[in-house]
Amino acid sequence: MKLDSTNPGQKYSLHATRKKDMETMGLPFPREWNRENFNLPPNWKEVALAKLDELRRKYRELQLFFDICVACGACADKCPFFIATKDPHNMPVARQELLRSVYRRYFTTAGRMFKGLAGGRELTEKLIHDWYIYFYQCSQCRRCAVFCPYGIDTAVFTMAAREVMTAIGLTPRSLTESIAKCEVVGNHMGMQPAAMLNSISFAEEEIKEETGIEVHVPINKKGAEILFIAPSADFFGEPHWLTFKGYLKLFHQIGLDYTMSTYASEGGNFGTWLNYEHMKKINRKIMKEAERLGVKWILGGECGHMWRVLHAYMGTMNVNPEFLEEPISPITGTRFKNASYSKAVHVCEFTADLIRHQKLRLDHSKNDQYVVTFSDSCNPARFMGLIEEPRYILQNVCKNFVEIDPSVNRERTICCTAGGGLLSDETLELRLRAIKPKVDAIRETGANFLALVCAIDKAVYPEYFKHYGLQTQVGGVHELVGNALVMT
Amino acid sequence: MDAITYTVTIVLPYVTLGIFCLGVTYRIINWLTQPMPIHWILYPGSRTQIGGNSSRTLLEILSFRSIFQGEKKLWTTAWLFHLTLAIILLGHVRVFTDFPQLWSTLGLTEKNVDWLALVVGGSAGIISLVTLSVLLARRLTIPEVKAISDIADFLLPALLLAIVITGDSLRFLTALQLDEIRRYFAGLATFSYNVIPQNPVFLTHFLLVQLLMICLPFSKIMHFVGLLFNLRTVHGW
């Protein structure tokens, strides 16, 4: 694969956070700045190096990955952004090297003595500009880590570099706008509790019109068994909305004792992509609300990075959730051992278990007009191994299910390329180029319905298909479940 | 024995061994004692930390399967190189001592063992020379691999290459008396010093190996320990 030494990746840089939002969020060094002129504080270098030193002592994986990469190159052409741009800095190992070289220069004996000869690099403002570009051209999808013999994970570097950049006041607007809304109003969409209630009652009405059945959604109900969390896009996004109705129909049909919350109205967590502090802050609301409502465990909707936080990080991030119990399905009695650490169950696991125990009456003829395919999302696939469950559900709710070429799907998936804070107009062209291998693979399947389990996937695929001229419809797994479910 | 010979042949080996052992231990303890405040999971991984993760890691070490699924050419050379390296390291035990008891239990004569060492060790020597050269050539010729290589990525393979070349010439081109070398190492082990064999190729080989052992704890060759700390786990199902 040829390299493009003109660094085409330099074109795609995210807009700066407004001073007002920096103040709202309590970010360091609130000031006017833009992506060309960072207007860095005078002591930025000391702050950045102190932060990097703190991080490498705090995270074993970061220190380890700094030390053991042998630059074998197995990851080089696995990154969708490298495939799209051929920019040398977009090779996962080269992206890591932007940070690793600084670590070598300032924190290893050889680097302090021999500098460049030991693979070290001075921390300059020019390098910080490269960080701001290339660490925001990583969607933290971790495809590279699957191919690395040591499992070295570029997301670890990306998170660390963003943490350092946040400490010196460099944060992109695409993230902070949503995080500020989430921390002030309650969710990334900036939706007030009343709007959420409104939205839910609309869903109830629509289900009544479609099926004639009266569905009642419990809200802020103390003492419910389960707290149901969904990404806020599900409340009115298109095509998320149909998936949302799918959940509600399902829960009504099986008589689940659950509640939704207007306080924990956001499952997603854009803070994950900025720094630890804001990830923890946003996640904390779910824990607080689970404790206040006295639920036993948490059921989560179709979302990508939400599952990264819920499944992997939540167990240690906000005090081990000891007031919660190991999830047991009230309908089938199945104990979800995989969730005993985090007490959060993915709705696909839950539904797959219901189908397995034949608790649902399904009529796939409602989905017969579709040839359905399923695209794995990076976080559910690589952070929790949720690969078979959605497929099991789809094979039960529709007749025509086809697979995408596994070289860009399953654990090797190239997913939406819009995660990690890249969901913005500045990166649209980059994303369209990066998604091409996946879109080609979807076109080859001949499917006319693409089922997804990620809110960002659902938001961006219609745009990608429009660009590449595919007629494929986009929707959620539980949209198809909702269609096929025979309600009584 | 003059001062220089004494320092190089008697003192240096102890220093080397000391740096190597302490260095590697320090690195391992450094990694082990660092916290992991957030949990990292990487799928495909194993579902149980103890049984599954160890067997998965072992399989990864033996087969390099992550590279296999991505880069077949790289896998062939890298796997063969590491395999022959392991064979060579194992074979070097005989440089220090012999196991007549073991050979007679296995029904092998001294001659059989020497012949076996020549065939297996000799071919391992050749294969490691070839694969190492290919790996080095790969760094120089493939643009994206060249772009990610820094100076250490060339120096370390070059040092290894020099060690393999001198080692191979000891095996194939030199009439080396193993007894003499064993006496020398036995002397070091029992602090009753014997004269080092005066073969220039052997001396070069021995000094280069010591240089490698001194650099190793502070270099990326530590990946052979680091890969034991991988993330490839998923929560138990």
* Tens digit of each residue's pLDDT (9 = 90 or more) over B122-144: 999 999 999 999 999 999 999 98
Query: B31 vs A411: CB contact, 8 Å cut-off?
Result: no
Residue that wins the pLDDT comparison between B35 and B80: B80
Asked whether the predicted pLDDT for residue A107 surpasses 70, the reply is yes
User: Would you give the end-to-end CA distance of chain A in angstroms?
Assistant: 58
Give the count of beta carbons closer than 10 Å to the beta carbon of residue B143. Answer: 13
User: What's the mean pLDDT in A242-248?
Assistant: 96
Asked whether the predicted pLDDT for residue A323 surpasses 90, the reply is no
User: What's the mean pLDDT in A131-147?
Assistant: 94
Contacts of B40 in chain A (CB under 8 A): 61, 153, 156, 312
Best-predicted range by mean pLDDT among A216-220, B7-11, B114-118? A216-220
Q: And the tokens for A196?
A: 């959420």
Contacts of B38 in chain A (CB under 8 A): 59, 276, 312-313, 316-317
Asked whether the predicted pLDDT for residue B176 surpasses 80, the reply is no
Q: Which residue of B has its CA nearest to A57?
A: B34
* Nearest one of A346, A336, A418, A420 to A381, comparing CA atoms: A346
Query: A381 vs B66: CB contact, 8 Å cut-off?
Result: no
Separation CA A374–CA A377 (nearest Å): 9
Separation CA B41–CA A382 (nearest Å): 8
Instruction: State the pTM of this model.
Output: 0.94
Burial of A285-310, coded b for 16+ CB within 10 Å and e otherwise, reads: bbbebbeebebbbbbbbbbbbbbbbb
User: Would you state the pLDDT for residue B237?
Assistant: 41
Asked whether the predicted pLDDT for residue A311 surpasses 80, the reply is yes
Query: B34 vs A63: CB contact, 8 Å cut-off?
Result: yes
Separation CA B39–CA A161 (nearest Å): 18
Instruction: Give every CB contact of residue B130 below 8 A, 6+ residues apart in sequence.
Output: none
* Residue of B223, B228, B237 to mutate for A, most A C-beta atoms under 10 A: B223
Nearest by CB to residue B218, choosing from A110, A151, A316, is A110
Residues 15-54 of A with CB under 8 A from B: none
Residue that wins the pLDDT comparison between A95 and A109: A95
Instruction: Name the minimum distance, in Å, from the CA of A300 to any CA of chain B.
Output: 17
Backbone angles phi, psi at A321, to 5 degrees: -70, 75
Query: B39 vs A78: CB contact, 8 Å cut-off?
Result: no
Instruction: Name the minimum distance, in Å, from the CA of A274 to any CA of chain B.
Output: 15
Asked whether the predicted pLDDT for residue B16 surpasses 90, the reply is yes
Asked whether the predicted pLDDT for residue A372 surpasses 70, the reply is yes
Asked whether the predicted pLDDT for residue A154 surpasses 80, the reply is yes
- Residue pLDDT, tens place only, B178-229: 888 999 999 999 988 888 888 899 999 999 999 999 999 999 999 998 888 8
User: Would you state the pLDDT for residue A320?
Assistant: 63
* Nearest one of A205, A262, A195, A202 to A228, comparing CA atoms: A262
Classify residue A169 by its DSSP letter: T
A212 touches B: beta carbon within 8 Å: no
Query: A69 vs B220: CB contact, 8 Å cut-off?
Result: yes
Q: What mean pLDDT is reported for chain A?
A: 93
Give the count of beta carbons closer than 10 Å to the beta carbon of residue B63. Answer: 12
pLDDT classification of A328: cutoffs 50, 70, 90: very high
Which of A45-49, A236-240, A286-290, B74-78 bottoms out in mean pLDDT, i.e. has the lowest?
A: A236-240
CA torsion A135-A136-A141-A145 (nearest 10°) is: -10
What whole-number percentage of chain A has pLDDT above 70?
A: 99
Backbone angles phi, psi at A228, to 5 degrees: -100, 125
Phi-psi region of A151 (alpha: psi -120 to 50; beta: other; left: phi over 0): left
User: Would you give the end-to-end CA distance of chain B in angstroms?
Assistant: 67
Nearest by CB to residue A153, choosing from B30, B40, B153, is B40
Residues 374-413 of A with CB under 8 A from B: 381-385, 387, 411
- Residue pLDDT, tens place only, A191-201: 999 999 999 99
User: Would you state the pLDDT for residue A403?
Assistant: 96
Which of A277-281, B42-46, B128-132 bottoms out in mean pLDDT, i.e. has the lowest?
A: B42-46
User: Would you state the pLDDT for residue B190?
Assistant: 92
Instruction: Give every CB contact of residue A63 below 8 A, 6+ residues apart in sequence.
Output: A56, A57, B30, B31, B34
Asked whether the predicted pLDDT for residue A359 surpasses 80, the reply is yes
Nearest by CB to residue B230, choosing from A151, A337, A382, is A151
Nearest by CB to residue A58, choosing from B37, B40, B150, is B37
Place of tokens 């389990």: A453
Place of tokens 């969904």: A230
Asked whether the predicted pLDDT for residue B148 surpasses 60, the reply is yes
Nearest by CB to residue B70, choosing from A60, A78, A91, is A78
CA neighbours closer than 13 Å in the CB half-sphere of residue A331: 21
Instruction: Give every CB contact of residue A425 below 8 A, 6+ residues apart in sequence.
Output: none
* Nearest one of B172, B169, B158, B173 to B208, comparing CA atoms: B158
* Nearest one of A279, A211, A215 to A248, comparing CA atoms: A215
What whole-number percentage of chain A has pLDDT above 90?
A: 89
Nearest by CB to residue A64, choosing from B31, B42, B71, is B31
User: Would you state the pLDDT for residue B48?
Assistant: 65
